[in-house]
Amino acid sequence: MTREPRFDRTGRWVGASVPRREDPRLLAGRGRFVDDIALPRMLHAQFVRSTIAHGRIVAVDLGEVRAVPGVVAAFTAADLALGDITALLDRPPHEFVPTAMPVLALEKVRYVGEPVAIVVATDPYAAEDGVEAAVVEYEDLDPVVTDTAALADGAPLVHAEAPRNTLVDVSLFATEGIDDVFAQAPCVVRVRTKTGRQNALPLETRGVVAAWDDRDEQLHVQTNTQVPHQVRTVLAGCVGLHEKQVRVTVPDMGGGFGQKCVVGREEIATAAAALRLRRPVKWIEDRRDALTAAFLAREQRYDVRAAFDAEGRILGLDADVVCDMGAYSCYPFTAGIEPLMASAEMPSVYQVPAYRVRGRAVTTNKAPTAPYRGVSRPQYVMVVERLMERAARELGIDPVEIRRRNLITVFPYTGVNRITYDPGSYRESLDLCEQVLHDEGWYDVRARAVREGRVIGIGYSCFSERTGYGSGAFAQRKMQVVPGFDISEIRMDVSGTVSVTTGTMSHGQSHETTMAQIVADRLGLDIARIKIVQGDTDRITYGWGSFASRSITIGGSAVAAASGKLGEQLREIAAHLLDADVDATELDGDGGVRLRDDPARRLSFAELADVAYLRAHLLPKGIGPGLTASASFDVAGDGTFSNATHGVVVELDPGTGGVQILRYVCVEDCGVAIHPQVVEGQCRGGIAQGIAGALFEQVTYDDAGQPLAPSLMEYKVPTAAEIPDVAIHHLETPCAFTANGAKGAGEGGTIGAPAAVLNAVNDALRDTGVELDDTPIARETVHRALESALENAHV
Amino acid sequence: MSEIQLVELTVNGERHDLAIEPRRTLVDVLRHDIGLTGTHVGCEHGICGACTVLVDGAPVRACLVFAAQVEDADIRTVESLAEPDGTLSDLQREFSAHHGLQCGFCTPGFLMLAEGFLAERPDATKEEIREVVASNLCRCTGYQTIVEAVDACAARRRSG
Amino acid sequence: MKPAAFTYHRARSVSGAVGLLAELGDDAKVIAGGQSLVAMMNFRLARPEHLIDIARIPGLDTIVREGDALRVGALVTHHAVETADLGPDFRVLSEAMRWVGHLPIRTRGTVGGSIAHADATAEWCLLAVLLDARIVVEGPAGRRSIPAEEFFQGVFTTALEPDELIVEVEFPRPAPRATLTEFAERQGDFAIVAAAVDPDAPRVVLGGVAQVPLRVPAAEAVLAAGVAVAEVGEAAAAAIDVRDEPGASAHYRRALTRTLVTRACEEARTR
């Protein structure tokens, strides 16, 4: 292994935008998504869901349901007697209150859409007829609909065990003397903001097909999850099976973005119904349920002050963060996911000498939350970037210049948050982004706009994104279930082709291609001869799935390590057969092993595999038959930080409040890009979701906790008409400890976009005296700001 | 469940005689009665466009049509685009070349939308293409590469 | 999101459809393109026991110019209007179609369906009032023709009797300078406010500010006076009676009205 270079740029695969292995089947309509699966005698499930936000269940009458033609069965929580889903943190009671999420609501309902009973029928139409026939009697309880209501004195309690509706209350950092810092600082700015609740909204909704297999003595659950092994663990526990009696496999997935990286109640209930009925049962979430009852995210309130010296250097950051996590903690992350992320990482890309933070998770009578692409970072980056702009304005410093004065430039840098940041291009990305917008003439456009009666602004965001959280980093969050490592197993068959397992779970990120590229370079084998195996708990020892931009950094490193071990085996066998020292051999980059000093003497992998399997008597002593290897990878330190600067030009329409993005520039650095086109795709897609959060999407409720956005008419996912083209520029600061120098690239776009858009809008509003800090930005709010400025101008 | 109706559909040139409830939407019939699962279901209220197919050449939301309504029509799904041996069409190849798909769930809808649109408007400008691409939702790509793929396909077809 | 069960009927003639409507009463619903109805049925917000499919009735899918008038059959799709060559006299109809949903909606959605559905922000409803259209309907007693302004009565409520069918919309006069514009956060969405003007009539019609497409006589008077277009917008904004609603305050709707009417007038003046 010591002969391996730190990161491999000599191979022909890594760094090349090769055609995606996934494309042909997906383009031909020959993929296999969960709803494409049909099994003999399969039944279809739908759920009776709570119609009120908060209440006690008095009675559930499914008699009429069972009489509906086509309905085969209907079960309540009591009928199925399932265990709860409970996610835990190792934190004291004043910091964390554990709460259980029953698979089906048992005594209380805590949000509109909460599953109360499962109806199983011969087709989905009949299942829905059955759901309509259910009679559930509730005793209404006062709903808690907002974070402020949750924290109010005398508020009704969503969970009796959680006083003040607080599930998490942590104060991770409090630099000594920080109050003095603020008292003496020449400039203190403050941002108070509320960010809208969002839905990650994978275009494919959640779904599962579960069937008991008598031959395998297994419950086979095909589900579109980002975390197959975690589903297996929870499911086995809930239904009382050993884990070997449960097999979770994942078909093609139509996106996830975090919504599918937690264990869903419906997938457990559907599997339980299949087990009970001994017939296959399918559940496909419909869009209304996906909008109202699936896991949501992002509703946060920040009150943050920043102290600056007269030259614009930041002296301290003092933050209070409240995250509205809805009705339940998600498994395995808990309701701590958002406040802990914000608390740990808020100092962002800046040299912040003093830091105090309190982070809270409150529970409300709204659908529960899960991690969503970026997890708190889109929000706190927005807050920190607003603070920078505000201080710049107050101190009369250029907003780009004030960032320059504060960016971390010497690496590794250990922050006030005790995180060590590995090398990045924070300063370089900002400089380049600004230069691009200058060179393209946008500053001239902005200057001319005033004369032309146009309203144009330019905004930036600088950020980094921790990717590749290892077990140590997650342990610091004090999760009781600690993700981090990944294991890969590689197997070469008789013909010299390989299959490689990964514990990560692609749901659109192209792992079948990018992981194969990594293997290809490690073994010197064409990617056509490499198969990536993912999403099967029977074939993969253990995996943590895909989230937190961990797949290429950790999964890719494990895959590389396993490939390297197999390469060693191949060289040992070849050395023996060629009668040479192992050290005299090398992989030839073309599917074979040769002698370094006599390249003509070569054995192909097929020839070596032939010996390993079919003529094992020829193998060297000490090497058994077969060609397999396995390796694991974990990150020992604090992970690796991707970084980027986004620059945005917007134009506002004073007549309507309309916001149009004229230009979007992204300068990103995710280390070595395995597949640059895929990296750009991740950037653009992430940016689109970030713009969506800044300008379009919001899950809203009325005072009774009834969802006000039950369709895509109200929940405004932006289209090609709203999302601009994005110019991407790449910088490359290789990571020192991942196999290929790669850093994660899955979330950055989403993280940077809201701040840049908000800053651009505020720059456009610079002469109005109005500053907008909440998202999504309502067009009416923009209109009012411009209108009031016009009125003032006329006075 | 209600009464069963005999419905005759022509899909990708092939005739199917079906005995189905009239309430079954075209997309459900295509996917689950005929077994053409390439057309996807994303919202069932006509916004996302994942279910877009061609009906008599025009792009249509298959979730907003009952199968019973389109008897005698010529229905085309994504499965009709590639050659029987799996060779992808020019449009499909451009989607791959431009990375116009990631998870691939919305892709059949965009392909059929573009296929129908370009047949009617082979000279469409990139801005017109963008406006039509805005008919469907994609959550992965940010749309730019879809617009570029369709534009490239149109340009290639025009040039020959 | 699967619709409730229904019985499907296919009408072959207008009289056949009317006969079915008379027989089945309130339990029946007419379907043409179904672009609003099927979505509502999938949500089970509409659950007719009978669906009468009129899409194959011959003769209802033509656009005919007769003297000054343009007669648009009820089954003509938005996309057919969008791509038809209606000449300068009725170009506003083709141009306005780009605001109707998206292409795959326009290929199925029909003029008659849109008018019958009577969404107060729907482009066809505005256009009908703007151009003094007459809605031609047929019932058991034969045909009658209803002025658009009388046809739209309230939220999704029209003068159409349960046993009547829209067969045609007649636009009686050319409107070469008429324009329509609207504002929504997202392309293809129903407008927050839509504005249509015809300086020759003169007509100013608004969507999204009342339960029906609203003519604004006060603004029409200003438009007729030929003063600055901003004054027409101002007059329209002053004349409407709107309330604060989630998503848009009265003040904002008024402001959008001012902007959109002004812009529609500006565009009209260039013609």
Name the helix (H) or strand (E) containing A387: helix A377-395
Q: Is the peptide bond before C48 cis (omega within 30 degrees of 0)?
A: no
* pLDDT tens column, C221-235: 999 998 999 999 999
Both C183 and C260 in a single domain?
yes
pLDDT of residue B2: 65
Per-residue pLDDT band at A4 (split at 50, 70, 90): very low
Determine contact: C244 vs chain A, CB below 8 A: no
Question: Nearest CA of chain A to the CA of B109: how many Å?
Answer: 10
Residue A315 has pLDDT above 50, yes or no: yes
Fold of A23-31+485-633: Aldehyde Oxidoreductase; domain 4 (3.30.365)
Nearest CA to A674 among A530, A484, A510, A550?
A510
Residues of B (17-46) whose Cβ lies below 8 Å from A: 21, 23-24, 28, 31-32, 35-45
Determine contact: C44 vs chain B, CB below 8 A: no
**Chain-centroid distance, C-alpha A613:** 42
Q: What is the Cα–Cα distance from A415 to A692, expressed in whole angstroms?
A: 31
Among C152, C171, C190, which residue terminates a domain? Answer: C171
Which chains lie within 8 Å of chain A at 3 or more CB pairs, if any?
B, C
Q: What is the Cα–Cα distance from A346 to A316, expressed in whole angstroms?
A: 12
Both C239 and C220 in a single domain?
yes
Determine contact: C6 vs chain A, CB below 8 A: no
Both C203 and C224 in a single domain?
yes
DSSP string, chain C: --PPP-EEEE-SSHHHHHHHHHHHGGGEEEESS-TTHHHHHHTTS---SEEEE-TT-TTSS-EEEETTEEEEETT-BHHHHHHS--TGGGHHHHHHGGGSS-HHHHTT-BHHHHHHHT-TT-HHHHHHHHTT-EEEEEETTEEEEEEHHHHEEETTEES--TT-EEEEEEE-S--TT-EEEEE-SSTTSPPSEEEEEETTTTEEEEESSSSS-EE-HHHHHHHHHT--HHHHHHHHHHH-----BTTB-HHHHHHHHHHHHHHHHHHHHT-
Nearest CA to A284 among C222, B32, C37?
B32
Q: Which long-range contacts (CB under 8 A, 24 or more apart) does B27-32 make?
A: B27/B51, B27/B53, B27/B62, B27/B63, B28/A124, B28/B67, B28/C2, B29/B67, B30/B62, B30/B75, B30/B77, B31/A35, B31/A36, B32/A38
CB contact under 8 A, A204 and B21: no
pLDDT of residue C142: 96
Question: Nearest CA of chain C to the CA of B132: how many Å?
Answer: 7
Task: Give the N- to C-terminal CA distance of chain C in Å, as an integer.
Answer: 47
Q: Which residues of B touch C187 (CB under 8 A)?
A: 131, 134
Q: What is the mean pLDDT of residues C90-109?
A: 98
Both C42 and C78 in a single domain?
no
CB contact under 8 A, A684 and B133: no
Determine contact: C157 vs chain B, CB below 8 A: no
Q: Which residues of B touch C102 (CB under 8 A)?
A: 49, 132, 134-136
Residue C267 has pLDDT above 70, yes or no: yes
> Which tokens is A498 given?
């390989």
Residue C209 has pLDDT above 60, yes or no: yes
Per-residue pLDDT band at A788 (split at 50, 70, 90): confident
**Chain-centroid distance, C-alpha A390:** 30
Evaluate whether A181 touches A393 at the Cβ level (below 8 Å): no
Both C191 and C164 in a single domain?
no
Return the CATH number of A407-469+637-794, one of 3.30.56.10, 3.40.1360.10, 3.30.365.10, 3.30.1200.10: 3.30.365.10
Question: Nearest CA of chain A to the CA of B94: how many Å?
Answer: 10
* pLDDT tens column, C107-125: 999 999 999 999 999 999 9
Across chain A, mean pLDDT equals 96
CB contact under 8 A, A69 and B1: yes
Torsion of CA C76, C81, C85, C88, to 10 degrees: 120
Q: Which residues of B touch C38 (CB under 8 A)?
A: 25, 46, 63-66
Q: What is the mean pLDDT of residues B87-109?
A: 98
Evaluate whether A27 touches B95 at the Cβ level (below 8 Å): yes
Both C37 and C78 in a single domain?
no
Q: What is the Cα–Cα distance from A135 to A227, expressed in whole angstroms?
A: 35
* pLDDT tens column, A710-730: 999 999 999 999 999 999 999
Q: What is the mean pLDDT of residues A170-182?
A: 98
Which residue segments constitute the domains of chain B, with CATH numbers given? 5-79 (3.10.20.30), 90-159 (1.10.150.120)
**What CATH number is given to the structural domain containing C26?**
3.30.43.10
> Which tokens is A162 given?
């959680």
Segments forming the whole domain that contains residue C119: 63-171
Chain B residue with CA closest to C104: the answer is B60
Residue A10 has pLDDT above 70, yes or no: no
Q: What is the Cα–Cα distance from C84 to C114, expressed in whole angstroms?
A: 18
Both C151 and C235 in a single domain?
no
Both C77 and C165 in a single domain?
yes
Q: Report the half-sphere exposure of C148 (CA within 13 A, side-chain side).
A: 26
Q: Which residues of C touch A722 (CB under 8 A)?
A: 185-187
Determine contact: A132 vs chain B, CB below 8 A: no
Question: Nearest CA of chain B to the CA of A388: how many Å?
Answer: 28
Question: Nearest CA of chain B to the CA of C213: how many Å?
Answer: 24
Is C58 among the domain residues?
no
Both C167 and C188 in a single domain?
no
Q: Which residues of A touch C246 (CB under 8 A)?
A: 700, 708
Name the helix (H) or strand (E) containing A325: none
Residue in B68, B69, B113 nearest the CB of C104: B113
Residue in B37, B43, B102 nearest the CB of A508: B102
Q: What is the mean pLDDT of residues A393-398?
A: 98
* pLDDT tens column, C15-52: 999 999 999 989 999 999 999 999 999 999 999 999 99
CB contact under 8 A, B106 and A24: no
Both C68 and C137 in a single domain?
yes
Q: What is the Cα–Cα distance from C189 to C181, expressed in whole angstroms?
A: 13
Q: What is the mean pLDDT of residues A679-703?
A: 98
Q: What is the mean pLDDT of residues A220-231?
A: 98
Chain C residue with CA closest to B46: the answer is C39
Per-residue pLDDT band at A513 (split at 50, 70, 90): very high
Q: What is the mean pLDDT of residues A667-679?
A: 97
Is C1 among the domain residues?
no
Both C109 and C31 in a single domain?
no
Per-residue pLDDT band at C5 (split at 50, 70, 90): very high
Domain boundary assignment for chain A? 23-31+485-633, 407-469+637-794
Both C70 and C89 in a single domain?
yes
Q: What is the Cα–Cα distance from A752 to C208, expressed in whole angstroms?
A: 35
Optimal mutation site among A716, A780, A784, A787, interface C, most CBs of chain C within 10 A: A780
Per-residue pLDDT band at A9 (split at 50, 70, 90): low
Q: Looking at A120-124, A449-453, C143-147, which range is the least confident one?
A: A449-453
Determine contact: B101 vs chain A, CB below 8 A: yes
In sequence order, what are the residues at sequence separation of 6 or more whose Cβ sits closer than 8 angstroms to the Cβ of residue A516? A13, A21, A500, A527, A530, A531, A532
Per-residue pLDDT band at A6 (split at 50, 70, 90): very low
Nearest CA to B61 among B80, B39, B36, B37?
B39
Interface B-C: count of C-beta contacts within 8 A: 95
> How is residue B87 annotated by DSSP?
P
Q: What is the Cα–Cα distance from A623 to A577, expressed in whole angstroms?
A: 13
Among C124, C144, C171, which residue terminates a domain? Answer: C171
In sequence order, what are the residues at sequence separation of 6 or more whose Cβ sits closer than 8 angstroms to the Cβ of residue A641? A421, A422, A424, A464, A465, A466, A467, A743
Q: What is the mean pLDDT of residues A251-273?
A: 98
Nearest CA to A632 among A480, A744, A501?
A501
Same fold, A23-31+485-633 and A407-469+637-794: yes
Residue in C2, C5, C55 nearest the CB of B69: C55
Q: What is the Cα–Cα distance from C109 to C116, expressed in whole angstroms?
A: 12
Chain B residue with CA closest to A253: the answer is B103
pLDDT of residue A1: 29
DSSP string, A636-665: -SS-EEEEEEEEEEEEE-TTT--EEEEEEE
Optimal mutation site among B23, B41, B127, interface C, most CBs of chain C within 10 A: B23
In total, how many domains does chain C have? Answer: 3
CB contact under 8 A, C8 and B5: yes
**What CATH number is given to the structural domain containing C218?**
3.30.390.50
